[in-house]
Amino acid sequence: MRLRCHTDGMKTKLWATTATLLLGMALVGCSGSSGDPVGRDVMAPVTMGVNELQGERVELVVGQALNINTESLAVDSYTGEAADAAVAEFTPGRIDSSAEFNPGVKALKTGETTIVMTNEQGGIQPLEFTVVVVPKSS
C-alpha cells in the first residue's frame, strides 16, 4: 500500500508539471512573436477648430481622420463636400441620444483635395481648406 501511495503521488506531480508546462507554452504563444505593441496601426485623429481651418493645408496619413471642433456652433449644423471624394470624404457631425460627434474628414488615398463646408445657420461664409493625404510610412 505504501508503494501505491507513492506511485499515485508521482502521477499527480507528473500531471501537475505537465499542466504547468502546457499553460506556460499557451501563454507564450498568446503573447505574439513579433514583439510589436498592441494597436500599433491605430492613428490618432488630427483635431482642429473651424476658426483655424479657413485657407489651411492639413496633412493626413491614409486612414487618418480630421476631427473638426465646431466650437460654439452645433455639431450637426455643418455640411461639407470633398472636391475629390476618392482622396478624402467628409463626415457630417451628428447628435446621438447619448453623445455628440464632430464633423470630420477621413483620408482615403494619397492625393490632395479641397473641402468646402457650409453652415445652415445663415450669415456664415463657407469654410474652405485643403487636405493633403500622404502614404503610411513603413
Q: What is the pLDDT of residue 85?
A: 97
Shared domain check, 122 and 59? yes
Burial of 63 per CB tally in 10 Å (0-12, 13-18, 19+) = middle
The predicted pLDDT at position 39 comes to: 56
Q: Are residues 51 and 23 in the same domain?
A: no
Q: Cα–Cα distance between 9 and 3 in angstroms, integer?
A: 10
The verdict on residue 36 lying in a domain is no
The reply to whether 56 and 96 lie within a common domain is yes
- Confidence (pLDDT) at 124: 80
Tell me if 37 is assigned to some domain. no
Domain carrying residue 122: 46-134
Residues 24 and 58 in one domain: no
- What CATH number has the domain bearing residue 60? 2.60.40.2020
Q: Looking up cell 473641402, which residue turns up?
A: 115
User: Is 81 in the same domain as 119?
Assistant: yes
What pLDDT is attached to residue 133? 98
Number of domains composing the chain = 2
User: Are residues 66 and 126 both part of a single domain?
Assistant: yes
Domain shared by 25 and 50, yes or no: no
Claim to verify: residue 10 and residue 51 sit in the same structural domain: no
Closest CA to 105 of 65, 78, 132: 65
- pLDDT at residue 137, as a whole number: 85
Instruction: Say what the pLDDT of residue 14 is.
Output: 44
Q: Over the chain (138 residues), what is each successive 10-residue block's mean pLDDT?
A: 47 46 48 55 90 96 97 93 98 94 98 95 86 91
38 in any annotated domain: no
Residue 79 lies in a domain: yes
130 domain residue, yes or no: yes
pLDDT reported for residue 47: 97
Q: State whether 3 and 66 are in the same domain.
A: no
20 and 51 part of one domain: no
Q: So what's the pLDDT on residue 6?
A: 47
